């Protein structure tokens, strides 16, 4: 059986990932592709508990390395229990964030060493990497404005604007370094424009 394709979707807060995910799900379903849609941190019972721990507000300061290691603990559980089995069964996997988020948020945002993240990625998921990554790129003021309207800000969404600026630059640097895998989408366009771009890439993948 052919291995499924692995697609991830990334972007800053309020960039419109949910709308794009809904479109990708519907489009691939129409094409008769069996798709597993999941998210990080999360995607399994244990990884969702780690997600709650990571996103809640705490009195105690969260050490940046502890944050990174928890992201990768959740990821290991998710890859081994959900992502790998699905790909092996020929299903396509659509993941709302993956390791690029650890580089952007913990590497660029928290300024942890990239070499350490490289090592973790290698140990935790080896060759299981997305075939295609959509990066929804948006001005951080616009994105945070949307995020603030949505609901109460979680622990990471409560960071300073300088943190989100570093995250955005981090994502764009990663996209520039791997143009074959990344598809950068201008998320300031209207929904129809974003969907047309997503559809073009998916058609080429099929």
Stretch that binds ligand TMP, among 19-27, 28-36, 39-47, 136-144 (CB under 6 A): 39-47
Query: Which one of residues 78, 97, 125, 168 is an interface residue with ligand TMP (CB under 6 A)?
Result: 97
Query: Which one of residues 102, 143, 184, 194 is an interface residue with ligand TMP (CB under 6 A)?
Result: 102
Q: Does 71 bind ligand TMP (CB under 6 A)?
A: yes
Stretch that binds ligand TMP, among 25-33, 76-84, 95-103, 189-197 (CB under 6 A): 95-103
Q: Which is nearer to ligand TMP, 96 or 137 (CB)?
A: 96
Q: Beta-carbon neighbour count of residue 82 at 10 Å?
A: 18
Q: Does 82 bind ligand TMP (CB under 6 A)?
A: no
Q: Which residue is nearest to ligand TMP (CB)?
A: 105
Q: Which is nearer to ligand TMP, 13 or 195 (CB)?
A: 13
Question: How far apart are CB 200 and ligand TMP at their closest, in Å?
Answer: 25
Nearest CA to 103 among 8, 169, 188?
Answer: 169
Query: Which one of residues 101, 140, 194, 198 is an interface residue with ligand TMP (CB under 6 A)?
Result: 101
Q: Does 195 bind ligand TMP (CB under 6 A)?
A: no
Cβ-count burial of 32 within 10 angstroms (0-12 exposed, 13-18 middle, 19+ buried)? exposed
Q: Does 43 bind ligand TMP (CB under 6 A)?
A: no
Q: Which residues contact 166 (CB under 8 A, 6 or more apart)?
A: 108, 109, 111
Nearest CA to 196 among 24, 17, 11?
Answer: 24
Half-sphere exposure of 185 (CA within 13 A, CB side): 27
Q: Which is nearer to ligand TMP, 87 or 136 (CB)?
A: 136
User: What is the C-alpha separation between 152 and 155, in angstroms, rounded?
Assistant: 10
User: What is the C-alpha separation between 75 and 73, in angstroms, rounded?
Assistant: 5
Q: What helix, strand, coil percent values describe the chain, rounded to 5?
A: 55, 15, 30
Token reading at 189: 């366009």
Contacts (CB under 6 A) with ligand TMP, residues 142-171: 156-157
Which residues here bind ligand TMP, judged by CB under 6 A?
39-41, 71, 96-97, 101-102, 105-106, 156-157
């Amino acid at each position: 059986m052919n291995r499924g394709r692995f697609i991830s979707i990334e972007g800053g807060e309020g960039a419109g990932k949910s709308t794009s995910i809904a479109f990708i799900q519907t489009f691939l379903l129409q094409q008769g592709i069996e798709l597993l849609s999941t998210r990080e941190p999360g995607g399994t019972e244990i990884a969702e508990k780690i997600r709650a721990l990571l996103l809640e507000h705490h009195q105690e300061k969260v050490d940046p390395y502890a944050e990174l290691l928890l992201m990768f603990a959740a990821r290991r559980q998710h890859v081994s229990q959900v992502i790998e089995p699905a790909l092996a069964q020929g299903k396509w996997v659509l993941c709302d964030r993956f390791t690029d988020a650890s580089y952007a948020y913990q590497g660029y945002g928290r300024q942890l060493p990239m070499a350490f993240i490289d090592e973790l990625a290698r140990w935790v998921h080896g060759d299981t990497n997305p075939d295609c990554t959509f990066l929804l790129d948006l001005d951080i003021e616009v994105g945070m404005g949307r995020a603030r309207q949505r609901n109460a800000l979680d622990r990471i969404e409560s960071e300073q604007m300088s943190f989100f600026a570093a995250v955005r630059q981090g994502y764009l640097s990663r996209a520039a370094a791997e143009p074959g895998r990344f598809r950068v989408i201008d998320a300031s366009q209207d929904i129809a424009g974003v969907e047309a771009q997503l559809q073009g890439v998916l058609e080429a993948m099929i």
